[in-house]
Amino acid sequence: MQARGPLMVEHRLIERMLGLIKVALAEIRLSGKVDPVFVDTAVDFIRMYADRTHHGKEEDILFRELKKRDISADDRRIMNELIEEHKFGRKTTKALVDANTRYRNGDKTALAVISSSLQTLVEFYPVHIVKEDKVFFPASRTYFTDEEDQAMLAEFMEFDRMMIHEKYKSLVESLEKPK
């Protein structure tokens, strides 16, 4: 398997979650309300899986290696766009979390922000994924030898292995913090 293999497999699971969010959006439109627990679950997926685990491997390993190489101006431009899109995803998720808290506390006007944030995520994310799968990943591959690509794959695996430990260590640390 090439290094981009696990990244593309992760894209497929992200797409499935986006499908579930689309269903939730249709339900919000019909009922005029949202299940805040579904929003929590979607946020956990986006933050832990799509951002920390998936974007983590892209930014901390693949992009880090590409930054050391003399890549074309076009590829550098696309990489910078992808980094900005990751930031945009985080900002949208933060707005979603804040609106979900307000909604839980009885502020019904927060529903509009929840809907628009979810809508933004389902619209922008597939475009980001296509850009990586069809354009950026194939272009990136040309800057690495087979050995270098396999070394990145090994680093991806190690990165994933650490994720579960990082998640629950930070959970315990946050619970230990005095209130």
Candidate ranges 24-32, 125-133, 161-169, 170-178; the one touching Fe ion (CB under 5 A): 125-133
| Nearer to Fe ion (CB atom), residue 14 or residue 39 | 14
Segment interacting with Fe ion (CB under 5 A) among 27-35, 93-101, 124-132, 143-151: 124-132
How far apart are CB 13 and Fe ion at their closest, in Å?
A: 11
Within residues 127-166, the interface with Fe ion by CB under 5 A covers 132
CB of 132 to Fe ion, least distance (A): 5
Q: What does the per-residue mask of binding to Fe ion show for 47-76, with x meaning CB under 5 A?
A: -----------x------------------
Compare residues 27 and 155 and give the one whose CB is closer to Fe ion: 155
Residue 47 burial (10 A CB sphere; 0-12, 13-18, 19+): middle
| In contact, 129 and 14? CB cutoff 8 Å | yes
Rounded Cα distance, 156 and 147, in Å: 14
Residue number, 54 or 103, with CB nearest to Fe ion: 54
Sign of the four-CA dihedral 174, 118, 116, 107: negative
Task: Give dist(CA 31, CA 8) in Å, integer.
Answer: 35
> Nearest 5 degrees, angle CA 174-CA 97-CA 100?
115
Whether the CB-CB separation of 118 and 95 falls below 8 Å is answered with: no
Please tell me the distance from the alpha carbon of residue 49 to that of residue 29, in angstroms, as a whole number: 27
User: What track of x and - describes contact with Fe ion for positions 76 through 115 (by CB under 5 A)?
Assistant: ----------------------------------------
Residues that bind Fe ion (CB under 5 A): 58, 132
